[in-house]
Amino acid sequence: MSVLSRLYTAAQVRAIDRQAIDRLGIAGYELMSRAGAAALGTLQRAWPGARHLLIVCGGGNNAGDGYVLARLARRRRLAVETVRLVDPAQLNGDARRAWEDFAAEGGVAVAWDESLLEDADVVVDAIFGTGLRRPVTGSIGSAIEAINAAGLPVLALDVPSGLDADTGSVLGTAVRASRCATFVAQKLGFYLDAGPDHTGDIELDTLGLPAEAYETIEWPARLIASSILAQALAPRRRAAHKGDYGHVLIVGGGQGMPGAARLSGEGALRVGAGRVTVACASENVAAVVTGRPELMCTGIDDPANLDPLLERVDIVAVGPGLGTSAWSRAVFDRVIACEKPLVVDADGLNLLARDRRDRDDWVLTPHPGEAARLLERETVRIQGDRIGTARELVDRYGGITVLKGAGTLVVREGELPQVCARGNPGMAAPGMGDVLTGAIAGIAAQCGDLWQASLAAVQVHALAGDAVAARRGQRGLLASDLLEQLPECLNVQA
């Protein structure tokens, strides 16, 4: 697996550094010099017209990276204003050497003043690195808040200052970077909790470290591979027919709620399922099939009417728009009792939270609020430990958990947790989860593997959202906008 896909904790990245220094003989200052040069390259690629840099340095090695960058930028004849939030006399080791080399070439670091932001084209955040564990307060916290309020492009070095590199939580206050030049390896916290709101675009530079530096260091999670769609969906034979690509049953659409089941049904069709049937309250049949006649639809007044459908299909998705009425509960119980693989979402999860069960052959797709109900705790605790939450859901309920949100997680026992790096805030809209549920079921119907289907569906769903947002912008993006984009994203990637 490429190092680009691996997600590490801060301690693991430090262990990689130690391997490079102690075992491979690469000097620490050499690594710092490479980091400063890599950061300058990132800056000039991202903002080629920038001429006035404001480089804000704190303490520790992150400040050292900043002083190296400042020295190299001055050599390029850029206008550099360097700020010291920590007295350079307090620096030690490689960071102290970086400051001395900067000063030896005529560099001067001034005290922080908010007015310095007025002339800057780009602000460089070299305040705190991965070792920060305490809340940011006082004058440094005020400086970070001023940087965030200035509306300027911000390049964070290694990690946005104030962001917990392991959990993605904000330690008091944190820099909101436009771009993050990170070094050695990707940090886990970039993709968890508030991480995506602070990193901006992430550019990794491994600083030329050889594979030996990484080989004994474990990593706790990885990004979903871009190749997952090709892995999950083999090329189609010319002699194929719809029966070769599975039959999905969507069970939902309770009284007055046809939309969610309709979105799930079309989501399954758009990722290539051979046949899709929607079972819903009888009053919703017309609303489902009028907009998408390719869907088969059956009204379920008596939950026993589900039995012949359950016999014929390959996989069942239950919950979109199902409701929590007595009818909903009876329908849910009928589905749960069947022996077909399941995808459980929305009201299916709410019903499951009332009556805990476990299975190995299902996928649960909660958003943080649903996860909180399933585990009987506050939503804020879910977001503060998303990987731990997903693992606990798997331990308690079995199968696979897809924990939705920024950095959607896919987790099951015995597998490395996988994180989706795609998607955008425009996808925080009604019905997005319903489309994802249908996509998981539709891909699973074709490949017969719930794990691969979950990974592939999460990836293509996010890609579709990004493709729509790139054309129309994020605000006002609708779940139904993704439906026509799904085949395009899937067929390009697969």
User: What's the domain range around 132?
Assistant: 3-221
Q: Are residues 190 and 250 in the same domain?
A: no
Q: Are residues 463 and 488 in the same domain?
A: yes
Q: Are residues 31 and 178 in the same domain?
A: yes
| Residue 441 in tokens | 């079921």
| pLDDT, block means (10 residues), the chain with 494 residues | 91 97 96 98 98 97 98 97 97 98 98 97 97 93 98 98 96 98 98 95 97 94 95 92 95 95 98 98 95 94 94 98 97 97 98 95 97 94 92 98 96 97 96 98 98 98 97 95 96 67
pLDDT of residue 63: 98
Domain count, the chain: 2
Q: Are residues 328 and 344 in the same domain?
A: yes
Asked if 126 contacts 157 with a C-beta cutoff of 8 angstroms, the reply is yes
What b/e string do you get for 214-252 counting C-beta neighbours within 10 Å, with b at 16 or more?
A: beebebebbbbbeebbeebbeeeeeeeeeeebbbbbbbb
pLDDT of residue 493: 55
| Residue 375 in tokens | 């585990």
Q: Are residues 263 and 128 in the same domain?
A: no
pLDDT of residue 133: 87
Q: Are residues 173 and 295 in the same domain?
A: no
Q: Are residues 136 and 234 in the same domain?
A: no
pLDDT of residue 296: 97
What's the alpha-carbon Rg for the chain, to the nearest Å? 26
Q: Are residues 197 and 276 in the same domain?
A: no
User: Domain boundary residue among 221, 236, 270?
Assistant: 221
Could you tell me the CATH number of the domain that includes residue 266? 3.40.1190.20
Three-state helix/strand/coil letters over the chain: CCHHHEEECHHHHHHHHHHHHHHCCCCHHHHHHHHHHHHHHHHHHHCCCCCEEEEEECCHHHHHHHHHHHHHHHHCCCEEEEEECCCHHHCCHHHHHHHHHHHHCCCCEEECCHHHHHHCCEEEEECCCCCCCCCCCHHHHHHHHHHHHCCCCEEEECCCCCECCCCCCECCCCCCCCEEEEECCEEHHHHCCCHHHHHCEEEEECCCCCHHHCCCCCCCEEECCCCHHHHHCCCCCCCCCHHHHCEEEEECCCCCCHHHHHHHHHHHHHCCCCEEEEEECHHHHHHHHHHCCCCEEEECCCHHHHHHHHHHCCEEEECCCCCCCHHHHHHHHHHHCCCCCEEECCHHHHHHHHCCCCCCCEEECCCHHHHHHHHCCCHHHHHHCHHHHHHHHHHHHCCEEEECCCCCEEEECCCCCEECCCCCHHHCCCCHHHHHHHHHHHHHHHHCCHHHHHHHHHHHHHHHHHHHHHHHCCCCCCCCHHHHHHHHHHHHHC
Asked if 397 contacts 352 with a C-beta cutoff of 8 angstroms, the reply is yes
| Residue 122 in tokens | 């780009």
Q: Are residues 303 and 442 in the same domain?
A: yes
pLDDT of residue 2: 84
Q: Are residues 317 and 382 in the same domain?
A: yes
pLDDT of residue 458: 98
**Could you tell me the pTM of the whole model?**
0.94
Could you tell me the CATH number of the domain that includes residue 177? 3.40.50.10260
Tokens 């012949």 -> residue: 308
Q: Are residues 181 and 328 in the same domain?
A: no
User: Domain boundary residue among 206, 221, 236?
Assistant: 221
Q: Are residues 217 and 245 in the same domain?
A: no
